[in-house]
Amino acid sequence: MEGEGAKMKEEVAARRVGVAMDFSACSRLALQWAADNVARSGDHLIVVTAFKPLSYDQGTEIMLWESTGSPHIPLLELSEPVTSKKYGLKPDPQTIDLLNTIARQKQVVVSMKVLYGDPREKICEAINSIPLSCLIIGNRGLGKIKRVIMGSVSEYVVNHATCPVTVVKSTEHED
């Protein structure tokens, strides 16, 4: 029995909570929701961001990591300009502050995984490759026309993910 208790404790500590992040207000809302409702001490909070690079001028790193994504970037490195340039990131100070607060208050390990390509497909791939225990994603509330033209990342992820997905809806809707 003692071995089972230790094993269960180890499994709980190894939980990896993913939050899809595009540095928008709705993804910050999803991050806050994850902190308030899912994250617990000992968890790994992994921020997953995916985008199509506009160019490869940032450096060869992006070309090298196009298929696998970046290594996990520790929270301490996220606000450094050299890190932002290296991975093609544009993290806003508000998100960095929120991540630091969550790490401190919830006692979770925070890192970021940057993926390059179609966000819908890359987020689903990350669920398996990391692997994630669950994923929280924001929803911008696109109007019907924009959703048909652009497609909804959250809708695609919900339909193709291999782990539980929670969609946090934004209170503001676009038409």
- CATH number, domain of 43, equals 3.40.50.620
> Is residue 9 domain-resident?
no
Annotate 18-36 with DSSP letters as a single string: EEE--SSHHHHHHHHHHHH
The pair of three-digit structure tokens given for residue 157, joined into one six-digit string: 């992820």
> Is residue 143 domain-resident?
yes
Determine the average pLDDT of the residues in 75-83: 89
Q: Count structural domains, the chain.
A: 1
Note the pLDDT of residue 102.
96
> Is residue 112 domain-resident?
yes
**Longest CA pairwise span in the chain (Å):** 57
> Is residue 10 domain-resident?
no
> Is residue 146 domain-resident?
yes
> Is residue 109 domain-resident?
yes
Domain that holds residue 156: 16-168
> Is residue 8 domain-resident?
no
Look at 43-47, 96-100, 171-175 and tell me which has the smallest mean pLDDT: 171-175
Smallest Cα–Cα separation from 142: which of 125, 159, 167?
A: 167
Name the pTM for this structure: 0.82
Determine the average pLDDT of the residues in 60-66: 60
